[in-house]
Chains A and B, each alone.
Chain A
Amino acid sequence: MFSSKSLLRSLRQSGQLPVHDFLAPALFAPTSRRCISTTTPKSNASAAAPSNQEGSAAAGTPKPKRKPLTKEQRDFLSSALRVNQAGELAATLIYTAQKPPLVNAHPHLRPLMSHMYEQEAGHLRTFNVLIAKHRVRPTALYPVWSVLASGLGWGTAVLGREAAMACTEAVETEIGTHYNSQIRSLLEMFEGWEAEGYEVGPEFRDLVGTLRRIRDEELEHLDHALENDAKQAKPYWLLTSVIKAGCRGAIWASEKV
């Protein structure tokens, strides 16, 4: 009697019988796996922006002005856009080079590889537009990165599926950290402006939004790589540490030249 009462109560609350949870967990458990096309919606990234702006507008002068960028800020922004363009170029080439050998050996990876390539190509287009709009020079090492990235992609794909995924994992880990530090510096810049009573223009709000969206998509690739046995690559520690060191070196060099 008592147990049937509690069963009814839980049925009313949850709308489904509790027994299903252990009989067929896959049917009812909320799906925690990400679908291939999942990206964070853009509105999510820029949602925090307007409230800040209104706050400073209400507190300060009726029409807040925008501050001219200092030399350090302009240098930071140009090296940031330059290194991002170089990074997305390399990512596009890595996937381009990985795809034929990998898909040949494992045809089921074709939709995943095409999807990741499409996203990287979209990022590259975004940064090409930004770099032309803001008159930043592209990296002088462009041909070097092209050759190295194609070589890396092709080499890891020939080593096998696990090695290719370990390469993706290493690259995306570094890229995710890199985008995070850029977003942090930009937010610090905004805080500085707002503390002085200046306004942050929509140009910079959009830039942070774009960086956040791209970062999330890169981290999604990281998840895909882990789902596809990146950790089982044979000399895993060697592959990932070499590739990570290479990424850091490339980021450092692209920021300079």
Chain B
Amino acid sequence: MAPTTRAFATRLASAAAATTTKSTTRSTAACLRSRSNRRSYHSHDHPPPPGAFNTAERQILSAAYRHVPDHGFTHKTLSLGARDAGYLDISTNVVPEGPFSLIKYHLVSKREALAPRSAEIFNAPVGGADGATPDAAAGTRGQLLTVPERVERLTWERLLANRDIIHRWQEALAVMAQPSRVPASLHELALLSDEIYHLAGDLAVDPSWYTKRASLSTIYASSELFMTNDCSAGFGDTRAFLRRRLDETSSLAGVVGSIGQWVGFTASAGLNVLRSKGARI
């Protein structure tokens, strides 16, 4: 089943596209075979592995993405995109998962756009945009913020990236909630929260690594859901919602941390009292 589909897709891509070169066709076959890259060792020295989409897919999807505000995440949008990119309508078969690929394209491209955006926000000199005189000696704006503040800012930037398609996002959430799509959707969510914590400069590698990312994923997903029904100017209500959730999490984390510290202190003090009494422990 799988090899015939692949062969069909390859033949289709090469036959359909007068504009595509031979190398594109070859990379189509190669990338259809490779699944989306799992999150693992990130090298700073060696070139990154190929992305989630190949050239043909990227062309069709980016062209189709412009039609999403009008036609939603549907097959029709994909066909329109294929036509715009200079392919036949039927070549949407190159995109293996149909509308879900379009959703994934949105998630992946917005996640990848977060890194340059974060550099733009946090590397700006202090006071530059507020009308005050830029002061290079005071450092960049990112240095003044704590990690939770940077996390809040980045999460908000990511939510704002949904602005243009937010009226279609409920359909997308419904597709993502289908049982066969749930693992891929959750994986994308995990990649997003990891990206946010990485860009915020969080270096913790203890069990809080998991709790932080899990809580951020929950908060992001609920804020996104809230945003689909938000009619306030500039999504102000969504930002207030996001801030409340993040504050609740940090106060909960503070309570848990304090309890842990108290238990640890009492235990070690008790142990030391026993040792001072001569117990060989």
A contact residues vs B (CB 8 Å cutoff): 66-71, 73-75, 77-78, 81, 85, 100-101, 104-105, 128-129, 131-138, 140, 142-143, 154, 158, 201-204
How far, in Å, is A65 (CB) from chain B's closest CB? 8
Of B74-82, B122-130, B204-212, B251-259, the one contacting chain A is B204-212
Q: A66-B47, A68-B48, A135-B198 are in contact. Are A74 and B41 (CB under 8 A)?
A: yes
Query: Considering only CB atoms and an 8 Å cut-off, how many residues of chain B contact the other chain?
Result: 27
| Complex-state Cα separation, A104 to B38, whole angstroms | 50
How far, in Å, is B192 (CB) from chain A's closest CB? 14
Report which residue of B34, B45, B205, B207 has the largest number of chain A beta carbons within 10 angstroms of its beta carbon: B205
| Complex-state Cα separation, A80 to B133, whole angstroms | 49
The answer to whether A78 and B210 have CB atoms under 8 Å apart is: no
Q: Which of A100, A131, A135 contacts B275 (CB 8 A)?
A: A100
Q: A69-B43, A74-B41, A203-B46 are in contact. List 20 more A-B contacts (CB 8 A).
A: A66-B46, A68-B47, A68-B50, A69-B41, A71-B37, A71-B49, A74-B40, A74-B43, A85-B205, A100-B275, A101-B280, A105-B280, A131-B205, A132-B204, A135-B39, A135-B41, A135-B194, A136-B41, A138-B207, A203-B43
B contact residues vs A (CB 8 Å cutoff): 34, 37-50, 194, 198, 203-207, 209-210, 275, 280-281
* Residues of A close to B43: CB separation below 8 A: 69, 74, 134, 201, 203
Q: Which of B42, B204, B206, B281 contacts A135 (CB 8 A)?
A: B42
* Residues of A close to B205: CB separation below 8 A: 85, 128, 131-132, 138
| Complex-state Cα separation, A135 to B48, whole angstroms | 13
* Residues of A close to B203: CB separation below 8 A: 128-129, 132
| Complex-state Cα separation, A135 to B193, whole angstroms | 13
* Residues of B close to A136: CB separation below 8 A: 40-42
The answer to whether A75 and B40 have CB atoms under 8 Å apart is: yes
Chain A residue at minimum C-beta to C-beta distance from B43: A69
* Residues of B close to A70: CB separation below 8 A: 49
The answer to whether A68 and B280 have CB atoms under 8 Å apart is: no
Q: 4 nearest interchain CB pairs?
A: A201-B45, A203-B45, A77-B41, A135-B42
* Residues of B close to A142: CB separation below 8 A: 206-207
* Residues of B close to A66: CB separation below 8 A: 45-47
| Complex-state Cα separation, A204 to B43, whole angstroms | 9
Chain B residue at minimum C-beta to C-beta distance from A127: B205
* Residues of B close to A67: CB separation below 8 A: 46-47
| Complex-state Cα separation, A77 to B46, whole angstroms | 13
